[in-house]
Every structure is written in C-alpha cells, then in structure tokens.
Amino acid sequence: MSIPRVLNRRNRILLKELTKTDFKLRYQGSVLGYMWALLRPLMMFAILYVVFVKLLKIGSDIPHYPVYLLCGTSMWSFFTECTSQGIQAIVSRGDLLRKISFPKYIVVVSATLTAVINMLINLFVVIIFAFINGVTPDWSWFLIIPAIIELYILSLGISFLLGSINVKYRDITSIWDVIVQALFYAVPIIYPISMVASTSPLAAKVILLNPISQAIQDIRFGLITHETITTWNYFNNIAFAFIPIFLTLLTLIIGSIVFRKKSKFFAEEV
C-alpha cells in the first residue's frame, strides 16, 4: 500500500474517532443525554408554534405549516450548531494540535459532522411529523439531499474561515453569535416568504438569494409542499437561482484558503 493511501486511511480513522468523541462529550454529564439532540429543536418549535401560529395566526396560507415550521427550525438548528462548533473546534482541540501532527481540517470537519448526526436525527422526526400531518411522499423527497449538502458546505466554509481567525481573535465567537441572531430574522424560518413577497417582491428576492434561505426553502419544497417559494420558481431568470450556490462554493473556497494559510500557526497561537 502506498504512503498516500496509508495517510488517507489514518486520517479517516482519526476523523471517525474525533467525531464519535465530540458527539459523546456534547451530552456528557447531562441527565437526558442524547435526548437533547431531539428536545432542543422541538422545544424551539413548540414556542414558535404557540406564539406565531396560534396567537399571531401566521402561515395559514401554507399547507402543513406546523411541519413547515418544524423543518425550518431543525435546519436552522443544524446550521447554527454546525457553525458554532466548527468555529470553536481549533481552540477546543488545542492540546491535541500541539501533541500530534495531522491535517488540521480534520478537527473542524469532525466538529461539524457531530451537527450532521443531530440533524439526521431531527430530520427523521420531521419526516414522522410529515406523515402524521398527511404529507404524501413522492420523488421530490430526494431533492432535499443536495439542499442539505449545500447547507453543510456553507457551514463548513464559514467554520474554516471564522474558525481560523478565532484562534487569534477570540471575539469572533461572540460576534458570530450576534450575527446568527440577526440572520434568524433575515431567513424565513418563522414567517413564510409569501408574506414578504406580498408586500415587497424585491425584499423577497434578496432574502431568497441568501444561501441559507435557498437551502431551507428547497428542503421544504421537496419534503413538505410544492407551493413553497424557492429561488427556482420565483425568479423570471433561472440564472439567479445559481447565485446562492455560487456564494456557498465561494465561501468554502475562501474559507479553505484562509484556513490553510493560518493552520501553520495554530499550534503556536492556540
């Protein structure tokens, strides 16, 4: 076996073990343990459902809106968990980086893969709720796969970029927390994009060009209802639909370049 293959196999094993360790440590010491992977998004969904659906009557024009809302909160939880864990990954694994020589990106990828595991658990719950709510499965369910991959690639790119800067400037974590709070209201998680489109079509277009919005709306379109507004069916020019994908890939490329340049100094700065 060639040396590159041995190294690749070693890296895969290391990635697997770090992911398992991160997932176990995430819930270590808690009474409910792994149940928090389900309870966190469900509790958030319950609060939003009571306030915005029952009290404010938002989403009455959207078929299966409770599942629509649950899907949005689950995907949003995935994005926020993926980025927050990815940004802090290098700092939290400082001792390991100083002791062992291995590709530094593995630490970030392992942290984000833990969020992927939680997302898959939540997605299973969303699908169960969809069945209970009368959603009929069809071929479009397969469309959620590329949308989830896109959302993960975006999260990974942000993690590489901000995680590498966070090693030296620890304020990045706090700044990102504020940005995430702002993004929550800039992305159609609570409100349907149709509500924005009815008052300001231009604002709806700007929101849909956000890669997070585009991915979540595509997932809702494929999994819940084809009445969901997406970048593919809202713009007259289909070329606009590729802008969020371009921004996602650009984020990953820039994040990877910055991470690669700064990774040489991680062991010294962490």
For 75-125, the pLDDT digits (tens) are 999 999 999 999 998 888 777 777 777 788 898 999 899 889 889 988 988
pLDDT band at residue 32, thresholds of 50, 70 and 90? low
> Can you tell me the mean pLDDT for 18-29?
70
210 touches 158 (CB < 8 A): no
Report the number of distinct structural domains present in the chain.
Answer: 1
Q: Which two tokens stand for residue 52?
A: 């915005």
Whole-number average pLDDT of the chain: 85
261 touches 167 (CB < 8 A): no
- Decide if 257 is inside a domain: yes
- Decide if 225 is inside a domain: yes
State which residues form the domain around 59: 9-269
Q: How far is CA 117 from the centre of its chain?
A: 12
pLDDT of residue 26: 67
- Decide if 183 is inside a domain: yes
**Global pTM value:** 0.88
- Decide if 95 is inside a domain: yes
Per-residue pLDDT reduced to its tens digit, 162-221: 999 998 888 899 999 999 999 998 999 988 898 898 889 999 999 999 999 999 999 999
- Decide if 3 is inside a domain: no
Please compute Rg for the chain using Cα positions.
20
- Decide if 4 is inside a domain: no
> Which residues, 6+ apart, have CB-to-CB distance to 9 below 8 Å?
none
- Decide if 62 is inside a domain: yes
pLDDT of residue 36: 63
- Decide if 2 is inside a domain: no
